[in-house]
Amino acid sequence: MTLRHPESQYLDTLAYLLEKGDRRIDRTGVGTLSMFGVMMRFDLSDGSFPVYSTKKVFWKTAVKEMLWFLTGQTNIRSLLSENVRIWTDWPLAAYRKATGSDISQEDFEDRILADDAFAEEWGDLGPVYGKQWRRWKGADGKEYDQLAEVIETLRKNPSSRRMLFHAWNVPELDQMALHPCHMTYQFHVSNIGEGLRQKVSLLVLQRSSDMGLGNPFNVCQQAALLAMVAQQVDMTPGELVWVGGDVHLYLDHQDLARTVLEREPRPFPKLRLLRRPDSIDGYTIDDFEVTGYDPHPAIEAPVAV
Ligand SMILES: Nc1nc(=O)c2c([nH]1)NC[C@@H]1CN(c3ccc(C(=O)N[C@@H](CCC(=O)O)C(=O)O)cc3)CN21
Ligand SMILES: O=c1ccn([C@H]2C[C@H](O)[C@@H](COP(=O)(O)O)O2)c(=O)[nH]1
């Protein structure tokens, strides 16, 4: 028996959604085909970087979003200054609704970049991922750096079953532009005490997943996070285990899904980190070298807001 390409986990999910997905209305009003409960596993131990090949994935944009989470920032201004525009729709919708203005996305983005006060008032997404990962505010008034704690435990007590951070901060949910989708990141170390190099794996629980746009981004940025954490704790990256709750295909992404299903997956590229920064806070996009990425063409698709 030969193993199938790991990307077939993605493609099989899309095929299932197209054929048997539960057709349901959703918060955005677009409508989805959905299934509840999916697991995909990607082995990163040979340097593979799970960037899907059946459509071009803008992996740099996805990794830049992950680096932005790591900074703890929640304002889209720092994303825009890196030319990442995937979060603009939500503050833009809030601005248009509050002011009645019909400002274009470009003008809104230019103003966020140029005008400090405007950026502060209209560019913030509320206490989303970065805030919760790095500065979770406890009832005791203290701020908790969940990610730093996980890295510390990986180094000092790698057999722990308590190595996780999460973003589902109940009292702050209603201040967030969107509730966290990738909400729990749990780490696990194998090869402890066997004289072999230790391997660290990551399981992500994603309560809601847009398979057309979000999932290709999420899988590769989560693999990038695992590569960074592994490097920081001197371990080999093991598996990325991706678990989805409500896994869905928006109704206006059905052609996208049919197109990728007609394509033959190509080998995943390899990821190499070119530098070892002193801490998890030291990475930049230039540290990521991706070789052998030869995808089929990009497919444009609308995002449900
Ligand atoms: N409906 C929905 N789906 C999502 O995936 C999603 C949200 N909302 N809201 C929050 C973030 C924003 N995310 C996004 C938003 C847009 C793209 C997107 O448009 N991707 C295009 C172009 C990428 C680019 O311009 O660099 C793509 O082809 O992948 C991807 C992820 C992921 N999340
Ligand atoms: O990283 C992300 C962020 C968001 N999504 C998708 C999943 C859903 O389609 C929407 C969020 O809507 P909810 O009504 O809050 O579930 O965004 C994603 O796939 N990946």
Q: How many angstroms is it from 36 CA to the middle of ligand 2?
A: 14
Q: How far is CA 276 from CA 59, 97, 286, in A?
A: 20, 45, 12
Look up the domain containing 37 and give its range.
8-62+182-291
Q: Which ligand is nearest to the CA of 215?
A: 2
Domain-located, residue 276: yes
Write the residue with the smallest CA distance to atom 14 of ligand 2. 27
Give the separation between CA 111 and CA 118, rounded to whole angstroms.
7
Determine whether the annotation assigns residue 135 to a binding site.
Answer: no
Q: Specify the pLDDT at position 195.
A: 85
Domain-located, residue 173: no
Task: Specify whether 220 is catalytic.
Answer: no
Determine whether the annotation assigns residue 209 to a binding site.
Answer: yes
Domain-located, residue 170: no
Domain-located, residue 247: yes
Q: Considering only CA atoms, which of 6, 53, 15 is closest in space to residue 33?
A: 15
Catalytic residue among 57, 150, 176, 181: 181
Determine whether the annotation assigns residue 249 to a binding site.
Answer: yes
Domain-located, residue 235: yes
Query: pLDDT truncated to tens, each residue of the chain (305 aa)?
Result: 678 999 999 999 999 999 999 999 999 999 999 999 999 999 999 999 999 999 999 999 999 999 999 999 999 999 999 999 999 999 999 999 999 999 999 999 999 999 999 999 999 999 999 999 999 999 999 999 999 999 999 999 999 999 999 999 999 999 999 999 999 999 999 988 878 899 999 999 999 999 999 999 999 999 999 999 999 999 999 999 999 999 999 999 999 999 999 999 999 999 999 999 999 999 999 999 999 999 999 999 999 99
Q: How many angstroms is it from 210 CA to the middle of ligand 2?
A: 6
Question: Vertex 79, ends 184 and 91: CA angle to 5°?
Answer: 80
Please count the structural domains in the chain: 1
Question: What is the b/e burial string over 186-209, where b = at least 16 CB atoms within 10 angstroms of the residue's CB?
Answer: bbbbbeeeeeeebbbbbbbbbbbb
Domain-located, residue 14: yes
Domain-located, residue 133: no
Atom of ligand 1 nearest to the CA of 209: 5
Give the separation between CA 137 and CA 144, rounded to whole angstroms.
6
Q: Specify the pLDDT at position 1.
A: 67
On whether ipTM exceeds 0.95, the answer is: yes
Query: What is the CATH classification number for the domain harbouring 213?
Result: 3.30.572.10
Domain-located, residue 203: yes
Q: Specify the pLDDT at position 256.
A: 98
The pTM assigned to this predicted structure is 0.97
Write the residue with the smallest CA distance to atom 32 of ligand 1. 214
The dihedrals phi and psi of 103, each to the nearest 5 degrees, come to: -50, 140
